[in-house]
Amino acid sequence: MSAALTLTDVRIQLGRRPVLTGLSLSAAVGEVTAVLGPNGAGKTTMIRCCTGLLSPDAGTIDVLGRAAGEPGANDRVGLMPQATGAWSGVRPLELLRYLAALYASPLPVAELVEMLGIGTFAQTPYRRLSGGQQQLVNLAGAIIGRPELVFLDEPTAGLDPHVRRTVWQLIRDLRAAGVAVVLTTHAMDEAEKLADRVILLNAGRAVASGTVGELTADGNLEQLFLSLTTPGGAA
């Protein structure tokens, strides 16, 4: 599989705190790459660097053959953030129609609304939605442009088990369509069920990488997580 995303020795300091401290990893086309790590390990900062929202102090990031942050680098990239205040007063249906208009060949809005069960709250202002409902709207916004690479930052946080399974199936469908999916999660079962490759972060760098089978040969993901990481992701 060719790489959709490659980070090489990426470093960034926010304020006085080093957040990424030599992070190198890759994500392949048509695969789900799960990035695990404790809070503070650098997962969200990594995504922000990959999507051009932050500029690293050192290292390189290649996104679908372009440097992260370069004009046009995000044209084929989708992003589902953990939260966004920018959509506070907008209704989901209006938002998705607006986002669809930005792309030449978007996914049909009605199809997304039905697929993710957004219809029951499609006319409710975003700020009044539950955390789980906001997650579904964020996910729809991330994939509406038919991205070739999509970043999902804790996509099932706050979702009930039924909706969580729906999101899992959507992620599988994206992979089957050849999309490179990079997701961060604290749920070990999610990584085990979805990921082709798992990367474990601690203190801003990768401390383990491999398939679930490779990483769990002597135990399980939770045991590995506890043995290789520290609370708060500190060095």
**Would residue 46 count as lying in a domain?**
yes
pLDDT value of position 44: 93
Report if residue 36 sits inside a domain.
Answer: yes
Q: Report CA dihedral (179, 166, 112, 177) to the nearest 10 degrees.
A: 20
Q: Is residue 108 part of a domain?
A: no
In the chain, the number of structural domains is 1
Residue 69 is predicted with a pLDDT of 83
Query: Domain containing 11 — which CATH number?
Result: 3.40.50.300
| Pairing between β-strand 66-67 and β-strand 58-63 as defined by DSSP bridges | antiparallel
94, part of any domain: no
Report d(CA 201, CA 23) in Å as an integer.
Answer: 9
Residue 233 has what pLDDT? Answer: 63
**Tokens 């491999």 appear where?**
210
- Provide the 10 A C-beta neighbour count for residue 27: 26
Instruction: Please tell me the predicted confidence (pLDDT) of residue 183.
Output: 96
224 in a domain, yes or no?
yes
pLDDT of 85: 66
Task: Evaluate whether residue 17 is within a structural domain.
Answer: yes
Predicted pLDDT at 201 = 96
- Domain extent, residue 16, equals 1-76+148-160+179-235
Helix, strand, or coil (residue 206):
strand
pTM over 0.85? The answer is: yes
Q: Does residue 50 lie in a domain region? A: yes
Q: Is residue 58 part of a domain?
A: yes
* Torsional sign, CA 162, 139, 82, 9: positive
As averages over each run of 10 residues, the pLDDT of the chain (235 residues) reads: 93 94 97 95 95 95 92 88 76 94 94 94 93 91 96 92 92 96 94 96 95 91 92 67
